[in-house]
Amino acid sequence: MEKKNIVVLDGYTLNPGDLSWDALKALGNCTIYDRTSAADVVERCKDADIVLTNKVVIRDAEMAQLPRLRYVGVLATGYNVVDTAAAAARGIVVTNIPAYSTDSVAQMVFAHLLNIVNAVQMHTESVRRGEWSSCADFSYMLSPQNELAGKTLGIIGLGNIGRRVAKIADAFGMRVIAKTSKRAEELPEYITPVSFDQFLAESDVVTLHCPLTPDTQHIINADSIARMKQGAILINTGRGPLIDEKAVAEALNSGKLRAAGFDVLAVEPALHDNPLLSARNAFFTPHIAWATYEARVRLMNIMLQNIEACLAGNVINKVN
């Protein structure tokens, strides 16, 4: 069988050098780019049968200029970077990588939450500056220290990640409530579905794990924040536009929100004038919740399985 031409448009975030592309190269004539600008997509893919992309956008205009293209593999779970309807109309298969980062993202939720309630790095830096050595007492606190046990964690979105976060929260002794369309009998006994009003009023911590849709865009906004507990904590490892960034920044600066942890922003990389960057008690990771070594190994393996299945005529993880 003739070898297929495979092009990876933006492989660096998946493999910054600690993984191997050898298994992919064995499947065809493989060209790998660390990054690709929008202007270079057509030129780089003009002879490609298979294109792999993470964040590089492929719309109908690009597909129209790529007559050989028969498969687009998105190297992520979300696939909004590809015009799936246009691909289907052109007979192009589009696949994604589901459920590879569940444990990693859930872990990051609690990395942010523990950073907020315990401030380990802040205290480490203080000790290194000699402030413990010169302290009159054996102990001091630079920030409030709080237990998670007994607090209420509110989850929006109970997919794989939301459910894993709920399980971890339960292990911490937290009460877990959720805004979800699922009924109580469909859920583990430690998750209680509630109305959105009750959710906002009772959550000490709100964490977002729902898809970005017209209904969920800016689900956390000035109105919903006003109905939240005074001093609540917000964590967003889902999608940046789930929150109104200006409203959240104002709530942080006023003290309505105690703190917030973000792994995602509405525009990435972050814009210099994003109001969250200068907001009080806002903490950031640069969209790396998905990117543990273990999760990237899983992503690479599922990517290979997707391509192998497609080449064998048995498509899996198709999204169009």
Q: How far is 307 from 67, CA to CA, in rounded Å? A: 19
Q: Is residue 171 part of a domain?
A: yes
Indicate whether 109 and 89 sit together in one domain.
Answer: no
CATH number of 64's domain:
3.40.50.720
What is the domain range of residue 93?
4-100+293-311
Could you confirm whether 35 is annotated as catalytic?
A: no
Q: Which residues contact residue 7 at a Cβ distance below 8 angstroms, ignoring those fewer than 6 apart? A: 30, 31, 32, 33, 44, 45, 48, 50, 51, 52
Q: Which residue of the set 239, 258, 296, 298 is catalytic?
A: 239
DSSP state of 235: E
Q: Is residue 72 part of a domain?
A: yes
Indicate whether 116 and 16 sit together in one domain.
Answer: no
Q: Are 38 and 56 in contact (CB under 8 A)?
A: yes
Indicate whether 222 and 124 sit together in one domain.
Answer: yes
Q: Which residue of the set 131, 147, 268, 308 is catalytic?
A: 268
Q: Is residue 237 part of a domain?
A: yes
pLDDT digits (tens, 9 = 90+) for 170-204: 999 999 999 999 999 999 999 999 999 999 999 99
Q: Is residue 316 part of a domain?
A: no
Gyration radius (Cα) of the chain, Å: 22
Indicate whether 96 and 29 sit together in one domain.
Answer: yes
Q: Are 245 and 269 in contact (CB under 8 A)?
A: no
Q: Which residue of the set 175, 287, 296, 298 is catalytic?
A: 287
Q: Is residue 195 part of a domain?
A: yes
Indicate whether 243 and 149 sit together in one domain.
Answer: yes
Q: Is the pLDDT of residue 247 over 80?
A: yes
Q: Is the pLDDT of residue 1 over 70?
A: no
| This prediction's pTM | 0.94
Closest to 29 in 3D by CA, of 52, 8, 4? 4
Indicate whether 106 and 92 sit together in one domain.
Answer: no
pLDDT digits (tens, 9 = 90+) for 64-123: 999 999 999 999 999 999 999 999 999 999 999 999 999 999 999 999 999 999 999 999
Indicate whether 180 and 278 sit together in one domain.
Answer: yes
Could you confirm whether 112 is annotated as catalytic?
A: no
Query: How many domains does one find in the chain?
Result: 2
Could you confirm whether 125 is annotated as catalytic?
A: no
